[in-house]
A = this chain, B = another copy of it.
Amino acid sequence: MNYCSACGEKVSLVVPEGDNRQRFVCGSCEMIHYENPKIVTGCIAEWQDKILLCKRAIEPRHGLWTLPAGFMENAETNLQGAARETAEEANAKVDNMKLFCVFSIAHINQVYTMYRGDLVEGLASPGSESLEVELVTEEEVPWQNIAFQVISETLKLYYQDKKKDNFVMHYGDIIKQSDDSYIVNYF
């Protein structure tokens, strides 16, 4: 950030009075520009013993597999956002959506809210951000070609709960280690 979005003058990084963090503050109109984490919201769409995966047509991780998910927009709920992303990426409709897991990923300033629901009529086809969509069983999940760690963790939790026939909500922190591996702490 270089300029104030309100008045167009230069901003600088300072700790505002009464605050304890550096913020971008306008030298002219004194507006404080806060930067906060973003929410990614998405969905495990279930059909019989299968779930819906999408092959990414966009960067990052072009060509790898993911669950339909994307940045939550203003004026929508997490659930509405998850449904919208599933419609956009896989032309699919999902019923009976329940929040399944929340992951906090501090090193990229993101929080994921992932839902679980019924894929209506088992119907899906690639949206503009997907190369392919596929309904897969657990054995068919391409574990080595999943786009993001948070998606692998979501799928692992899903199959754990499915085996117990008891789905509950989960919360975890995904932490990137100095050697680029990840650890996940559940609370």
Contact = CB atoms under 8 A, between A and B. Distances in A.
Nearest to A1: B5
Contact of A7 (B3, B9, B39, B173): B3
**Top 5 A-B pairs ranked by shortest CB distance?**
A169-B169, A3-B8, A99-B171, A77-B104, A74-B109
A74 B39 contact: no
A37 B34 contact: no
B104 A78 contact: yes
Contacts of A35: 74
Contacts of A111: 39, 72, 78, 113
18 contacts: A3-B4, A3-B7, A5-B11, A5-B33, A8-B10, A21-B73, A34-B71, A35-B74, A36-B38, A36-B71, A36-B74, A37-B39, A37-B74, A77-B104, A78-B102, A79-B171, A97-B187, A102-B113
Contact of A104 (B21, B79, B107): B79
Given A34-B71, A78-B102, A6 B7 contact: no
Nearest to A8: B3
Interface residues of A, number: 48
A171 B97 CA distance: 11
A99 B107 CA distance: 20
A171 B77 CA distance: 11
B128 A98 contact: no
B76 A106 contact: yes
